[in-house]
Structure formats: C-alpha cells, structure tokens
C-alpha cells in the first residue's frame, strides 16, 4: 500500500544525462537557499531575539524562546504550503510550481534583511518578522515535494537513491554556507557591527541566489513521469483512495521523525544551546555546528548510493539506531570540560554522519511510497508534517525544557526518543523497494 508496485522500466528520456543533470541542479538549488536561510536564522537566533523579541526588561532566555516560537510557526505553515503547492504540482506540473515557489522564498527571505527592529517600530517588528517567516514556511513546504519529484522522476534506473540524496546534500551545503557566512561575519566585524547591521547581510544575499535559481528552473523540462500522466488523463487516471494516501503520509512522517528531530537538534539548534546552556562563545558554537554539518554532508551521498544497492531500509535503520543509542554519550562528551577539542570534534562529526545515513536515502524512499498523481503532494506533506512537529519545535522544546528542569541532557533525550520511534516505522519498509519502478 505504501510502496511501489512492479512496473515497466521508466521511459528512456528519463535517463538522458543532460536532462537528468539539469533536473538535479534545478531541484537542488532551491533546497540550498531554503536551508541556508533557515540555518542563518538559527545561527543568529540570539541576535534576532535581542532585536525583535526582547523589549527592555525581558530576559535573554525569554527572547530566545520567542525567537524559536517564530521559527516553529514557520514550520507549521510548511504542511499548508505542501498541500497548496503539492496540489498545483500534481495538476499543472512540477516546473511551473517550483518557479512560483522560488520567487516567494527569495522575496520573503530578502525582506528580513531590511526589516526594521523593535527599537525602530515597536511591537510591529516581531509581527512583521513572523509574517515573513510564515511566507517562508509556505514556500518551503512547496519546495521539497517538487524538488524530490523532479530529481527522482528524472533519475536513471537504479539511481534514485543517488539522485534523491542530492536534496539532502544541498540541505547540508545550505546549512554549512549559513554557518560559514555567520563565522566570516563574526570574524571580520566587531561585535557592535555584527549586532547592528552585520546580521542582515546573509539574508540579503539570498536575492542574487534566488535569481540564479529562477534562471535554472526556467530552463527545466517537465518530468517524463508527469508528462506521461498528463497524456493518460484523456482516460482519467483515478488517484489512489484518500484513506490510502493519508495512511502513507502518516507512515512516511514516522519514518522521517528521527531524521527531522536529530537533524535540527545537532545541526541547527546546537549553537544557541551551547551559548545559552554551556556558556560557549558565538565562535565556539559555530565551529561545533560546522563539524556536525561536515559529518552530515560527508555521509549523505554515500548513503544514497549504498541504498541503491542494498535498499533504503538497511541504511536508514542503521542511522536511526546509531542516534538512539549514542546521542546521550556523545552529548555528555561535548559537555565534559576535561575532554580534548579533538574528541569533541569527532563526537559532533559522528553525530552529523549518523543523521546523514537517514537523510541520504530518505528522499528516494518517500518518492517510492506515492504514485505520480499524488507524489508531489504526498511526499511534500509527509516531510512538512514531520519537520513542523519535530524540527520546527526542536529549539523551542529544548530551550524551554532545559530552562524548566535544568537538565542539560534534554537535546540527547529528544533526538534518541524520536529516532527510536523511527526505527519502528522503518521496519515496515520492504527490502526491495529500491529495485521497483516508480508508480
């Protein structure tokens, strides 16, 4: 029900190298921009809190919690975007929908870079920021389903894992680019310059990136799978029953839960956690995050390629089990002042690599769960729901629970618990899904 049935080999046009590579680049670039911005927002969370959410008299922790609440709200609009843009993508095509999405994403992000602060316009500032975060959430919800549909529907036979892994890889590149930009600005600017105007620069840089992405998507062809579905609509293709699709979306979200929660815990929330809980400096927190993201990036493409050979289930289960078992020991090692910087770096790198084992095969696994007529909507909704609950709330949950309990191990408990649930959902995967044609 939730996996693909045997079918004919995909049309030869899907395997044409030029079209496949073009689809890979056009699909990846939007993910890069999306996660670059979400990374930047997470890395500058403490500065954004001071400018938008902490009027005089408010505590730093209070402002950080409000910043993460805005962060979470954007994630909760992702399922709305996935439903709206997914419906468009399954009806009018992947290409025009992805063009619309990149325009909305770029515009909303660039506007954050010129937004007046609380000191300038008072209480309107956090509301305007939250509105732009909502627009970003809507566009991000429409991005994933279309990008993964394009990548996997253009993928040559036997390479869906490799092609889909590029979606996750550009997530890592986006987060690393955001961290790199934050580290560069923290190095070349004084603290007052960074807090005054420097934090705006990374958001404004999305404007030229967005123009490049738009140009690439204007040159993109429609996918062969969608083109075939359009032809077949002369004899209306009946979509799968609504109950079957809902069940598939719920199961897919469960399979992604650990990836979503552990990924955001170790790759985005970590800098603010280290600063607010362990009194690390901004630079130390960014170095820690870069190491975790490097581990994440290093394992994604190999994981996707291996999953084309041995199956998605084995590779993703390995990653989920590693996080469930090792999250607490790894975090304790990072917390221990007696441990060397090399040991802590290795622990962070390893944590990121374990998440990458889930992220590499994940996009292809999702594409294989839904037929062409509902693929954009189905996999986009599953990803958006999982991220809304377990990624978007990660910073808010961790910061609030640590504040209330004083337990600095909360991030590890959160990552381990969600990965344990994902293990159960991943056990329902069929071992030969990677060998079957997309429906």
> pLDDT at position 396, please?
73
Residue 183 included in any domain: yes
Q: How far apart are CA 90 and CA 171, in angstroms?
A: 24
Q: What is the tens place of the pLDDT at every residue in 331-380?
A: 888 888 888 878 888 888 999 999 999 999 999 999 999 998 889 999 99
- Residue 18's pLDDT is what? 62
Question: Which pLDDT score is estimated for 416?
Answer: 94
Phi and psi (nearest 5°) for 231?
A: -60, -40
Q: What is the pLDDT of residues 277-294, one digit of tens each?
A: 777 777 777 788 788 889
What does the pLDDT read at residue 342?
Answer: 84
Evaluated on CA atoms 361, 362, 363, 366, the torsion sign reads positive
What share of the chain in percent tops pLDDT 90? 34
Asked, for residue 5, whether it belongs to a domain, the answer is no
Q: Say which DSSP state 233 is in.
A: T
Where residue 234 falls among pLDDT bands split at 50, 70, 90? low
d(CA 88, CA 354): 35
pLDDT (0 to 100) of residue 10: 43
pLDDT in tens, 105-119: 999 989 998 999 888
Mean pLDDT (whole number) for 167-179:
86
Q: Residue 196 CA to chain centroid, in angstroms? A: 29
pLDDT band at 322 (very low <50, low <70, confident <90, very high): very high
Question: What domain count does the chain have?
Answer: 1
Write out the residue range of the structural domain in which residue 158 sits. 13-230+240-435
Higher pLDDT, 26 or 301: 301
- Percent of the chain topping pLDDT 70: 88
Res. 13 pLDDT band, cuts 50 70 90: very low
- The predicted pLDDT at position 303 comes to 96
At residue 96, the pLDDT reads 92
CA distance 26 to 13: 17
Per-residue confidence (pLDDT) for residue 80, from 0 to 100: 93
Residue 385 lies in a domain: yes
Stretch 5-13: mean pLDDT: 42
Mean pLDDT over 304-320 rounds to: 95
- Cα distances from 434 to residues 16, 162, 231, 333, in angstroms, run 20, 11, 26, 37
Q: Is 74 inside any structural domain?
A: yes
Residue 8 lies inside a defined structural domain of this protein: no
Q: Which residue has the higher pLDDT, 21 or 302?
A: 302
Length in residues, the chain: 439
> Residue 290 falls within a domain, yes or no?
yes
Q: What is the pLDDT of residue 15?
A: 43
Does residue 100 have a pLDDT over 90?
yes
Rounded to an integer, the average pLDDT of 300-329 is: 95
b/e sequence 398-408, b meaning 16+ C-beta within 10 Å: bbbebbeeeee
Is 3 contained in some domain?
A: no
Instruction: Flag the least confident range among 87-91, 198-202, 391-395.
Output: 391-395
How does residue 233 score in pLDDT terms, banded at 50, 70 and 90?
low
Phi-psi region of 11 (alpha: psi -120 to 50; beta: other; left: phi over 0): beta
Cα 429 to chain centroid distance, Å, stands at 22
**Each residue of 378-426: pLDDT tens digit?**
999 999 888 888 877 777 778 788 888 888 888 889 999 999 999 999 9
Which of the four pLDDT bands, split at 50, 70 and 90, describes residue 129?
confident
Alpha carbon distance 21, 150 (integer Å): 11
User: In this structure, is residue 312 part of a structural domain?
Assistant: yes
The average pLDDT across 165-184 equals: 86
Q: Which of 9-13, 79-83, 134-138, 145-149 has the lowest mean pLDDT?
A: 9-13
- Quick one: pLDDT at residue 358? 96
**241 Cβ contact list (under 8 Å, min separation 6):** none
Mean pLDDT taken over the chain? 83
Task: Give the predicted TM-score (pTM) of the model.
Answer: 0.81
> Does residue 17 carry a pLDDT above 80?
no
pLDDT tens figures, 40-88: 877 787 788 778 876 665 555 666 666 666 666 777 888 999 999 999 9
Q: CATH number for the domain including 124?
A: 1.20.1250.20
Task: Describe the chain by its helix, strand, coil percentages, rounded to 5.
Answer: 80, 0, 20
């Amino acid at each position: 029900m939730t996996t693909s049935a045997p079918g004919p080999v995909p049309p030869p046009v899907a395997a044409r190298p030029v079209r496949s590579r073009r689809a890979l680049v056009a699909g990846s670039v939007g993910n890069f921009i999306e996660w670059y911005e979400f990374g930047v927002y997470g890395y500058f969370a403490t500065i954004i809190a001071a400018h938008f959410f902490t009027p005089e008299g408010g505590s730093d922790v209070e402002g950080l919690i409000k910043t993460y609440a805005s962060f979470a709200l954007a994630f909760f609009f992702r399922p709305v975007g996935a439903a709206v843009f997914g419906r468009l993508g399954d009806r009018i095509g992947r290409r025009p929908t992805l063009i619309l999405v990149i325009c909305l994403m770029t515009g909303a992000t660039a506007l954050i870079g010129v937004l007046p602060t609380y000191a300038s316009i008072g209480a309107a500032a956090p509301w305007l920021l939250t509105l732009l975060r909502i627009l970003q959430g809507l566009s991000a919800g429409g991005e994933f389903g279309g990008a993964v549909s394009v990548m996997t529907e253009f993928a040559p036979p036997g390479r869906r894992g490799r092609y889909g892994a590029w979606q996750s890889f550009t997530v890592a590149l986006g987060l690393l680019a955001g961290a790199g930009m934050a580290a560069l600005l923290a190095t070349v600017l004084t603290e007052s310059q960074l807090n005054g105007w420097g934090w705006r620069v990374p958001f404004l840089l999305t404007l030229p990136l967005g123009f490049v992405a738009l140009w690439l998507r204007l040159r993109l062809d429609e996918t062969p799978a969608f083109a075939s579905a359009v032809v077949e609509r002369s004899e209306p293709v009946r979509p799968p029953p609504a109950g079957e699709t809902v069940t598939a979306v719920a199961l897919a979200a469960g399979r992604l839960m650990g990836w979503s929660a552990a990924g955001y815990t170790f790759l985005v929330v970590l800098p603010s956690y280290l600063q607010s809980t362990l009194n690390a400096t901004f630079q130390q927190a960014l170095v820690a995050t870069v190491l975790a993201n490097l581990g994440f990036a290093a394992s994604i493409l190999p994981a996707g390629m291996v999953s084309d050979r041995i199956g998605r289930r084995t590779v993703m289960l390995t990653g989920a089990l590693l996080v469930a078992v090792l999250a607490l020991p790894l975090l304790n090692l990072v917390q221990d002042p007696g441990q060397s910087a090399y040991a802590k770096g290795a622990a962070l790198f390893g944590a990121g690599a374990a998440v990458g084992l889930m992220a590499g095969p994940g996009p292809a696994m999702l594409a294989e769960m839904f037929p062409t007529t509902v693929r954009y909507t189905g996999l986009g909704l599953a990803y958006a729901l999982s991220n809304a609950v377990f990624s978007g709330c990660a910073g808010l949950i961790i910061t609030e629970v640590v504040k209330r309990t004083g337990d600095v191990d909360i991030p590890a408990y959160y990552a381990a618990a969600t990965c344990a649930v994902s293990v159960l959902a991943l056990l329902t995967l069929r071992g030969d899904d990677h060998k079957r044609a997309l429906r």
